[in-house]
Structure 1
Amino acid sequence: MSMFQFSGRSVSATVCLLVLLAGSGCGGDKEVVAGPADATSSSPDTGELDSQIVSDVPVAVDTQPVDTSVPDVKSACEKQSDCPEQQCDVLTGQCVACLFDYHCDKGLTCLAQTCEKPTPCLGDKVCLSKGGVCNLEANACVDCNGDADCGEGTVCKLNSCVPASKACKSSKDCAELDQVCDQQSGSCVDCQLDTDCSAETYCADGMCIPDICTKGQTKCKSVTVLQVCNGAGSAYNDLECEADAEACDEGECKKVICQPGEKVCDGVYVKECSARGVDLSISASCTADETCQSGSCLPHICDPGEQKCSSKGVATCADDGLSWVDSLCSSKETCVADAGAATAKCEPHICTPNLPTCDGNAYSICSDDGLNKKIINDCTKLSDGGPGVCLSGACVANSCNAGDKGCAGLATTTCVAGKWQTKSCGPKETCAAGKCVPVSCVPKEIYCDLNVIKLCSPNGDTAKFVKDCASESKPGKPRGCKGGICVDLDCMPGATSCSADNNSVETCKATGFGKVAQQCAAQQTCVTGACKALICTSGQVYCKGNDVMKCDATGTATQKLSTCPKGKICGKGACLNQLCNPGQTQCGDIFGANAGKLETCSADGMAWNASPCASGSACDDGSCKTVICKPTSSICQGSDVMQCNAVGTSFVKKQTCLKTQVCNEGACKTPICKKGVSTCGAGAQSGKLLTCAQSELAWLESSCPAGTICYGGGCKQVLCKMGELGCQGTKQVSCGNNGTSWVPKVDCATNKQVCSEGACKSPICSKGSSSCGVGTQAGALLTCSADQLKWLESKCPVGTTCFSGACKQVVCSMGENSCVGDSVVTCADDGTSWTPSTDCAANKQTCVGGICKSKQCKAGEVQCAGTTVITCNTTGTGWVTQNCSDNNACTPDTCKDGKCQYGASKVCDDKDPCTNDACNVITGQCVTSPASGNCDDGLKCTQGEVCQAGKCQPYEWDLVGTV
């Protein structure tokens, strides 16, 4: 059997021989081996065939290739076991380097039994010098593309010319070749089962082929597909990782826990998601002055827990040191900070800020923050030296006259019983001349007009400029007016910033204290004081074309991290080795999970996406094609046997039938008849029409239609009974060919006879001649029959009679006289014409009513002239006639006493029930004719009848007289 050895095999003997031929010696402790260029390499075994041959001696040697000018040394062999390190070419009886590509190291091809690098080609010419031809699919030179490229005794297998297999009936016939017998093909092969091969090979197409992989070995075909080596080591089976939950990584399906390239925080560590999203690894460690947030180390802006006063109240530094969190003081509180202790708190007001009040007899004003009061004046003694008192936050005189009115701050004063009584004005009023009037400001109030401090007049009608706080501003520290004093601004008027949750834009009020929030629209966020559209997920790393992009922390902008180099493609946020060309298609491995499915390379070239073909179609050659046949079934196409492919989408020619065969039902068969030929059946098929089937492999039986019979290979009309005689023209014929045709016998014309009813007979009349009947046939037209053996009788139309063999118009009654001018004419016997009788003019007479009479008569005289009434005209010079004849000889028409007399019609009856009796209107004679219907006189057929088919029928006269 064919034996192959791979990585780890010893080749010391072979290499030694080569070195000896090159002039170097082998032996002792200087055994020559082949090994990796770096003997210290510790690269892990990849599971693939090693491209170097190594021995068990760990000595590095020169890795330069052996000089190819050294002639090959080929050992003689009869079977594979004779070539432990090579392959046995049993045709030449020599050990060679290779017979097939798989005998060579990975990346090499077998050409002319030598392992070498593939030679690219676009045609045969470049390969001829190497003894090969061009395989356009592989774009490389090979030994052969078909058997025609190989020499005698060899065949093309796997693009290599190898000895043709030896014929066998038993594996004993193959023992000398170290092979086994394939009973199905009847030829010797290297193997039939995997057990016939070595542990490192498997059996396929009768050959031991090196294992593609190790049983159970796994690897990733794509991000979503895990490949597992089958039990024979001949192929990988595809297993789909759980969709959207797992990804293939390092030969196993792992749970997806993050987005590839995504960065997240884990305590003080920044961790980055792997290219396939199955694990996280530390990419950075934050310092003590930093906090990890959204996958980045951000510097602290304050110490966690530190407090200060803000425009809103107490601001406390967040635990991550990255932001301040405000706690609002109420409207009756003010924030007070302890700078040394880095603390702050809300202190309650002891008075209303900037409000003047009376404390006893002292006039005081509350501070801006409401936390203390400042005594402005003692009202005990007024400025004019008189005694005073503090009323409603103002100093007024202590004495008054009844009815006096005045003002005390923001109140009116009225003197009652020498004492002042006060009444406070409204919130937007001041006291003037003892009355409450509208004010422009709060009297005596120190207030802010934007950044300017102003002091309201005592009565609130005017304000005095005190100070513009902007004058106290310093770079980076703008000042403004608040509560009537200059303080640092909370913000720059009109400046914008983002809310803590980045959902709103906050605009600083015109005073510089407080902000107005404006919510951002949906799918927007606040960035540097403006609403911007969200275009990506914060921190997400993704692909744009072949660029690796990262979304910034705000989700509103992206940054290109890198562009994937040539040979790699951006997928899931990382540069990955491309598995396939985007859009490329192929059919799933028939042994894998995607068997029968169409696999399409994903847009990023990183995976094969499988989709089932639609019902009624199957995957073939990288596309879904319509299923047109049952896989492996055969049909006929002309004389070719066409076999359906494995998926049922097309036919390939399997065999061409011999010229003596026909193709039927997908097989070559010998025909039993010729297409279009028919015959008549015999035996059980007697009388049946047999027609050769289209396939020429069967006779199709059919019954002939009624009135026909099978004869001479066809259904023919039954014309007669066998032996029956008949006529065809003048020839006597007899019925033959199973009653399907008449066979000529005698030509009657030879003896001047005619053929009738199957016999030669002498004619009684000439064809086409006619005559008039006599006797019982009187008045009938007789015409010679086609067979010239009888006269055919027919009646003349009404008003006509037969004369001289033709029907002629009846113009008169037999014996009747008439006048033509002065001549008497007499009706001919057939009534069809008048015959001149007497010329009355010769006797100086005139013809009247068919007789000669004198031209002179007595006016009005009436006489009879035969059957004509004649009357003398009024002048006595001529006669007027009235013919009494009705042109019917069967009625007695007479003239008597000058009048027409008419008698009864003549009755004819011969007392024979088988005849019809009638009077001949021309002759006035009784005539008879055979009657139709049954004879009912109780007798056999009477005179003039014959019996036919059980009935009395009129006899057809053979010969009649002529008129």
Structure 2
Amino acid sequence: MGRLGVALLAAGLLAAGLMPAGCSTGRGLGTISVGEALPVDADVVSGDGRGPVADASADLRGGDLSVLDVAEATVGPDAADVVVPDAADVSVPDAPPADVPLEEQVPEELPCEPFCPGICGPDGCGGSCGECPEGQSCVAGVCFAPQACESPKDCLEGVCDKGKGVCVDCLEDADCDAGFRCAAQECIEAVMCVSDKECKAFGMICDKEAGYCVECLSDLDCPGDHFCSEEQCIDDVCVAGEKICAVTVISICMDNGSGYLPGAPCAVGTFCEAGACKPWVCTPGAVSCDGDVLVTCNEWGSGPASQEDCTASKSACVDGACLPVVCQDGTKECLDGKVLVTCSEKGTLEESVACPAGQFCQASKPSCVPWVCSPGAQYCDGKTAKQCDAQGGAVIAEEDCGASGKVCVQGKCVSQVCLPGAVWCVSGQAMAQCDADGMGYDTTACGAKESCWDASCHAWACAPSQPYCSGAIALVCDALGKGPIGAGLDCAALGKTCAGGACVCTVPTCQQVGVECGNVPDGCGGTLHCGVCPLGLTCVGTKCTCVPACAGKVCGDNGCGGSCGTCPIPLQCVGGNCACAPTTCQALGVSCGLWDDGCGGTLTCGACGEGTFCDPTGQCKPCTCTGKECGADECGMPCGTCKDGKGCDATGKCVTTEPHCVAKNTPGCPGCACESCVCEIDPFCCETAWDGLCVDECVNDCGGVACPEGLCFPMCEGVTCGSDGCGGTCGSCTAPAACFQGNCCTPACDGKECGDDGCGGDCAECSAGNYCADFKCVP
């Protein structure tokens, strides 16, 4: 029923004095008072929802539309039992003065009288005016079928409950007008309260938290056969503790009767019935036969879901199916004398079984029995020829061969073809022997390289029909391989040899005639080709000869195992010419110092590390002052100084023998005996400094006058290498550095082809016809 219909019904009730003046009908319709006209655009909707039944713009007090018309139009034709009482029959208390507070308007002891203006809904005193059929809802005492919906736009009034798929009055309080609340999806007037006292007259209690009257807040607020749901007392749906079956689960009614709680599911192999688990009566979904009745078990296994009498369709139930009856139960027959056909127990199947090998199907008493004879065979029974039928069940023809002087062969009477037991050759390749009855013979092929003659197989003496040699005799074998045809041909008498059964001239090999190369006659009218010589050999006559190859060579291999010459020591043969091969540090057995490479060059064999020196044998030895008082060690490091008046001799000892020489670096100061001679030839020694070179000049260039042995005092001040003036050294340099003017100097020749190396030497010499310019060799 539409809300407008509810409003009109309420209006009628107001007019009859059954609702207090000013009561509202709910959401969206406003308040209708007694004596007040409906809005001009309001329609009264028929109970079946098919359209308006009257114009509702008339004044309810004096118009053509009566209260009963409104009630009848609203409830519809299915609510014929609904009676709207006259106002005179309803006792309504006088309204209290307007200034009386709400909580004092209802007397505390006022008895509750049920109020049922419709056929359903609460009676106002905790009871019910009736229940609607399943699928219908109660609105203002009227039952109506809800409108289906998927969204709010499908509902002409109210809102859409998408879960149920129907239009309802409300889903929450916000869907109702002010002063109304949503209860059980209906907008009902919210009677405001602060205590149960204000609600008692309506048979309700106060929801103090929400501030309005409700039917209940808990199950205890409802009668014993009701429970509280959404603040309304609802009839119990079951008896507390009651058990029912939900498919295969036992469900138990809750203590307040509001519904069932699922219990434990029944075990596999059981089903639920009358609140208890019982064993399957049959396997769920299984199909079976009960006599000729086809029974299908239901999905729970509690019994048949369906039964079908197969006999109704001239069928029989076999293995869970109705099959047509095609033959008489248990009968048998033969098919083609080879197959036994048996009708099944209920006549639904003809089973065909071929008789086993060696048996046939006997039609007179259908069964498989052994053959009388081989089916269709012609055979001999002694001298009698017989013919078996196609099934092997009987002889259909026979003939006595002896009566006509014949013999029986393979079921036929025939004359003999050979002398029984005779043996002969067939085509020279097989041996034949006549059967005992003379009607045929057996052949046996001779083996490989055998032929048949004289009634037996023999090995070949020679290959049949093929020429061959027997020594120098050329022969031809006969067709059977027994031996040669005739005496043959003597090849030796013809000066030839026998080859492949023919007299031929034998061509010798090059080796046999001693020819190594070239071409020579083969003695048989042809040419013997003996090839060419290996690389390095030349064919001379018919022999491969080596010709020495020494052109442009003075040494080395001549290509024929000899030599083109040898080189004097220390030269070596390189590419056929003698050249100097520089020696190596390893070959010399040295590890340091500079050495002659044997070819006019110098080998640099490395330098010794710190604290060591290169001895005359080219080995690094530790520098030491052992046994010395003065002078320097092998590394030029001082071993001590002598006191005044003493000099250091060659052995490193301090001595006082006079006179003695001292290498001088001050001009005019007495020095060695030849100082004046040295200064004349080398003014540097007297004008600048007296160094080791000055002493050498004294010894070597000035008459050989030297300091007496052991009386020369070394001078190494300001120098790090070279002579100390007394035959010793002031130190050595590490390669590639060399001693230059008393100090170690490293030659600088990078990017230079020639010229000064910066250490008193040359980077390289230019070849003949060139000269050095800006460190480059130019023509």
TM-score range, shorter chain: 0.3 to 0.5
Structure with more of its chain in helix, by fraction: 2
Structure number having the greater strand percentage = 1
TM-score, normalised relative to structure 1: 0.28
Larger Rg computed on CA atoms: 2
Q: What TM-score do the two structures reach when normalised by structure 2?
A: 0.33
